Structures are given as C-alpha cells and as structure tokens.
Structure 1
C-alpha cells in the first residue's frame, strides 16, 4: 500500500524501495507485526493492527523519509541521561529458543525432535544442560568471556498464538490494563525533555508498537538514505534548512514542532561519521541495521532506545538440520551480526545493553512437515558490558510430558522481570509502576550488574 505524506513536509532522497522484497518462503510464513511487507502464510491471524495500518498510510508521519514512502517520526533525549543505550532486537515470527539454545542435556529433547533437533555432539556446550546451536558459533567466545548471557523459559501472560496479537501484547507490556501505549514509549516518557535521536527504529520504516504513544520516534532504513530530497550542495542545503525553519516557525505547534525537529534530525544524522566498519557485518538488513546502530553509539548522538527487527523466523515446515537449511542459515546471520556489533563497538559496549525478544517460542516437538508450530516460552539473548554473561539464567521447567505447557516449553520467567532489571540497573529507572504496571514483585534474576 503506498504511503502518502502532507506535501508541506520534507521528502527524502530516493533510497531503497518502500519495503524489503522478501525472498521466497520455504514454507508458509506470515507478515510479522511491524513489517512493511505483508505476505500470507496460512497462520490464522486477527488481521493487520491499527498501528500497522496507520503506519502504512503515513498517518502522523513527520518531515522526512528514509526512502520513497518511508515515514519518519521524530523524538525530542534527556541531555543528562547517563544510562545504557538499550537495543531491543525483535525476532519476529516466533523465534525457536529450543534450537538456538538447545537443552541437549534434557532427556526428552532428542525424542521430541528426532530430525531437526541439535545433536548433543554438535552443540556448543554452555553447561550440563544447554548448548548453542552450531550456527551460533560466532557467539561462543562472547559467552565464554562473559559478554553474552541467556535467559531461558521466558514467557508472557498472553496466551495468544497470533503473531500480531502476541507481539502487540509483548510490546505493550501492560497485561490486564487498558493502556494502549508501548513500554518503550512509557520508558522515554519518564525522562523529561528528549533530543531528536533519543528513540530510533533502525532498518524499518514502521515503528515497533513498543513506541506507540505520545513520545515520537525516528524511523529509518539506513542512515545513508535518511537525507533531504532536493539540495545537492552545502549552500543549497543551508538555504533549504532556513526556508523550512521559516516555513514551520509560524504554524500550529503540533505541525511546526514536527517539521523543525525533522530538519534537526536530518542534519544530526548527516553528521554521524562512517567508521567504514560495514565489512565486519554479514550481508543483509540485520547487518545494515546493527552497523548503523553502532555508528550512532560511537558518535554519541543522544540515542537512548533503539528498536531493530529481524523477521522470517516462522518455520512451520522445512526448518532443516543442525548443519544446513533454513534455521541454520538464519542463526548464522544472527550470530555473525551480533558478534560483529560487539567487535565493532569494542569498549563502548560497556554502555550498551542488547536484548532479543520474540512474540512466542515454538512447540517442543517437531511436526509432520519438519518444522515447528507456535508455542509459548523462549530464550532471550542478552549482550553488553553490564550483562552477567557466561550463564543461562532462569529456572528450567523440563521437557517431559507433564512439564510442557500444551506441548510447548513452559514459561518460568516473565519477560517483564528481565526488562525491569535492565531498566533499573542499566538505564537509571526508578519506580516502574508507570512503565510496567502490575508487574509482580519478584527477586531480580541477576542478569545484569548495576552501573557504577
């Protein structure tokens, strides 16, 4: 669906196409929440979300675009913020934590997945129970050095197996309430005045529903395509900027603030230096996005929260073996991209916390199509200078018949307790009553250390 923007707003230089062109699916797959491209998969769904429809129509889009038809929303980050840059990597489509961090030491695992499971002899052992999938070998040194940790059997209150509904509930993070804002927006809303690049969605033109709410955000495909369409020289750009500032200086505050902030955001991003590190990352959108995030962190651009998406995890059929196939290829890309991000930032990772989230995991046992149907609990990967790595955190419920939750891994840790610990220990949050309402009072897992 084409996106339409008010003509008085800025437009961006033509970069990539409006949305990614998906590779042919090896099995039925669906359009995951937040994706700019809808592809039917056969998964029963509730239909597109209100936010995705508004995003596709460009409703509320501010004054720039990263590529044709890409909406941009602009935030304002507390100049005094001293917490970590929080990077939330959403693995959309239902990431299979039982493949990524395989419980090869659980006696039920091999029997549940005779064709697609990770053999014990192939796993990169983390402890007596868990081993990394061999395609995540790039992450093993980070785990061994304490920079990477895992929380297993992580779930949420929502019992939905709809990708859209489950991801919206996860990004809303307010079960049992009528709140319609997202937890990222509420987090930023507690920090006072924000700078234009405080909240970013990188790699996608549609913002995560975690950003839903009054605090705006910038969405862009890449830094390189987030440019003003028209001026080709510094002199012309300066004239355009002056004209746009004059144009927006007299309009209603709701319009003028957006326009002025957009001009500022374009100029700030233009000034972000390129360290030439793209060669460290694997080819593809995830590598592009994490490379840009590293550029922004290195430039100390005022970024506080970044959302990045990685899709195509909905493997109902044709998942493949541990040494080849769909899952192996996806995990290779994921592992290499995360390892490159850590290598790129080096010591600057001390001020970054990256965590993966997915709407749900997969069922414990393989299906008749060599794949996995929608399940419940999952594994969360965590990386950063403050992460208590080299450990698999959480209570393992087991995969025996009576231990499963309707055929899926049972959740023993609410993902919001992990989020809460990160926000309080690494991001300077005080009370979380506004950000994560109704969160039960439980002892922290100890997945991160408090900032000094």
Structure 2
C-alpha cells in the first residue's frame, strides 16, 4: 500500500518486492462472500453480544505491526543531529539541528513528525535506534523474508505472527488480521491460525450479494458446501464467514473516531482508523499487520521542508497521532511497533537519495510504553564506526518484539522467536 501520491521510484528489486504478495487468504473470493447469513439469522443485537466475549482466554495487548516497506531511512526519521559525522555524510539531505524536533541531546524527530512529539513527551512513544537483523543482505526480498520469518539459522518456515497468534488460546476470526490489503504478509504464513485480510471494514462484504436475502442464500450454500471437509478447508471458510458477519454488524453501526481524532486521507490513516475501530469493538484482535510502502528513496529524498520523505512522514505522523487519540483509554491494551527490512546507507548518493543499508530505528507506541526516551546503544556514523558504510545494528529487532510478547502479550517469546537474544531494553511495563 503506497501512502502518498509520490511516484514510486526505487531499485528494480524494490519495485518487484513492493508488488502484492501472491499468498492470498485461503478463504478466497468464493468464501469472502459469506458475511451476511449469520447476521441475518441472529440479528445485530445478538452479533454484538458475541463480540463482547471475543477476547475470552486472552488478556494480552493487541500487537499492531506497522511495516515500512522498501527500507525506510532511519537517519532521516530520527536523525542524530548531535553527531557531527552525520552532517559530513549528508551535506544535502541532513536535517538541520535547528529544524529537528529534539528528543535528547543527540537525536531529533524529522520535522514532518511534529504530531508525534507530544506522544513522546507524554511517555507513550519510545524510539529504539540502531536496530537491525543479525544477517543483513541489503536485499529487499531476502531481508523482508527473514524479518517476517524471524527465525534466522533455523529450518522454520512459518511467519512469526502466525506463531504468535497460534500461541494464544482460542483465537477467533479476527485474531490475526491484515488491514489495508487483501493479501497477508509472510509473517502470517503458517498453519497455526487462519489469518484474515481486508482492505477495510466497510468494504469487507459478500461479492455479488446485492441484498440480505441473497447474502443469506450464499452463506447457507457455502456452509453446506464445506460441511464435512477437512479442517484445512473448513477452518478458513468458517473464519471468513464469521468475520464477515461481524463486519456487517460494524458497518451497519457506522464509526466516528473518538476524542476529536482526525485521520489523514490515504491508506495508512484508513488502516489505523479501522484498527482502532476493531480494537474498541472487542472483536478479538491479537495481531494486526499494516503496510506502508514507497520508502525506497534512492533519488530525490527531499529536504527538511518538503519533498518525498517529508510528504510520506507527514502522513505517518498524523495517522499515528490520530490512532492514539482515537483509542483513548483503549491504548492501554494496544502496543504498536514499526519495522522495516533494512535501513539506508549513512552517506548520501549523487542523486539526492540513499542506497540500501543496515541499521535502522523502531517506534514503539502504546499505553504500556516507557516512552520519552531513545533506547539502544548508539554506534556513531563516522566512517570508522560504520559497518561497511552502514549504521551498525546494536539491537536485534527480535529483542524489541520479544519484550512486547513477554510484557504486554503474556507469551513466552522463545517459542515464537527462536534464538532471539535475551537482551531487554526496558521499553515496556509488564501488563497487570
């Protein structure tokens, strides 16, 4: 999902990597229609009563994973304005210290992220810098695959979000959900749970059914067709049918963001709005995947006052701030983590952009975050401090995820992230 109207301009591999995944939800177009029958038979009141009990057996946070596809430039997002070597390496595209939004004596936020500064100050946003994977390749395909498998050096082929949802008890139809796309990421690949993919709550409807009667007929037929089939078929089908029933109830009810929250137009704002909507409806969200694309900025990255990066980050800042405002007290049961397959080179190139690199940043937001701090060991960006010209990764991204799983989701991280480091940064408070 591209988050702005800026034309995509990246390397050939990056353009291919940003194409939609071909792994579609098993409950495909024929099952996707099955929303309405249960709704029509049970009625909205009964359906909403069921939603109240959708989280039975799980008391952890909803984990929202926002993936910046294409390799976002962490040295633009959270620039080390207190490190002179940063300005030497980036004479044209560095964020001037006077323009950066100071986080501490070394780091600042990109000025386009001004809506996030109050969250940082209030302690609900933490930053981890110099984050990365243990075996960097600078390949979109390889590093995306490894990031979402999260089991380097092992033969495990499933995705880490599939393992995460599978480790919870009695997951329901919405337990593992991709919002903003009809295809799930590799992180949901596996057989432990049936993941759900939707562009939006309101568009998640029965294709070809023009009224409630037709919807009921299709649903009855689909349930009968799958009766007696193997679990590999009936479980995804039942998941889709049950989810469509709930979506129909929510669509009828409508939605207005709370607390004066205003989401920006675009895919990211829409996806986060629907995430907040589903969280507050109590449909049983446990892991949510959202994509933000078009970050492969080899050329014309822009300046601190405008351009490609500024436009993209403006949407990110407004969308995340609206999400937290909209959640209100519900933020106490949500943790959002940002990831990207790799960072960018320390030194700018001759085209006003930055090429594939290594170390990056991660945002962690939520009600249980020990925010207002930049975490991690800063390695520096002087030539003798880099890894072959890249920012070193001093924190394995799985350490961040493991802390979320343990402290906020009540899960054992070692079974979900095998081989993850034991290091914990103190990013989060343990859930009561």
The answer to whether TM tops 0.5 is yes
Question: For the structure 1 residues 78 and 253, does the alpha-carbon distance in structure 2 shift closer, same or farther, using more than 3 Å as the test?
Answer: same
Q: Secondary structure at the match of 1:257?
A: helix
Tell me how far 1:78 sits from its aligned partner.
6.3
Q: Could you give the per-residue CA deviations for residues 173-219 of structure 1, whole angstroms, max 9, x where no partner exists?
A: 11111111111111112124310110001101221111111122001
> Is 2:200–2:271's contact at 8 Å kept on the other side of the alignment?
yes
CA shift, 1:252, in A, is 3.7
Distance 1:34 1:190 in 2: 29
Q: Among residues 392, 396, 401, which one is paired with 1:419 in the alignment?
A: 401
- Say whether residues 1:312 and 2:333 are aligned partners: no
User: Contact (CA 8 Å) 1:79, 1:195: kept in 2 or not?
Assistant: no
Query: Where does residue 25 of structure 1 map in the other structure?
Result: 8
Change (3 A) 1:32 1:167: farther
Aligned pair count reads 406
Greater Cα shift, 274-283 or 138-147: 274-283
Distance in structure 2 (CA, Å) of the matches to 1:20 and 1:141: 23
Runs of 4+ aligned structure 1 residues displaced above 6 Å come to: 18-22
2:183 matches 1:213: no
Q: Deviations over 1:305-360 (max 9, x none)?
A: 00000000000010011111000001101111101111111111111000100000
Kindly indicate whether structure 1 or structure 2 has the higher relative contact order, using CA contacts under 8 Å at least 6 residues apart.
2
**Partners of 2:71 and 2:341 within 8 A in 1:** yes
Q: Which residue of 1 aligns with 2:100?
A: 123
Residue 232 of structure 1, CA deviation: 3.1
Cα 1:100–1:270 change in 2 (3 A) is same
Unaligned stretches of 5+ residues in structure 2: 34-53
CA contact (8 A) 1:112 1:365 kept: yes
Structure 1 unmatched runs, 5+: 1-17, 37-51, 67-76
Q: Secondary structure at the match of 1:207?
A: coil
Q: 1:434: Cα distance to partner?
A: 2.0
Aligned to 1:40: none
Contact 1:63 1:262 in 2 (8 A): no
Q: 1:113 to 1:64 in 2, by over 3 A?
A: farther
Q: Aligned pair in 2 of structure 1 residues 182, 27: CA closer, same or farther (>3 Å)?
A: closer
| Counterparts of residues 89-128 of structure 1 (less than 5 Å) | 89-128=66-105
Q: How large is the RMSD of aligned CA atoms in angstroms?
A: 2.2
Q: Which residue of 1 aligns with 2:338?
A: 356
Contact 1:63 / 1:263 at 8 angstroms: preserved in 2? no
- Shift of the 392–346 alpha-carbon distance from structure 1 to 2, 3 Å rule, reads same
| TM-score (normalised: structure 2) | 0.89
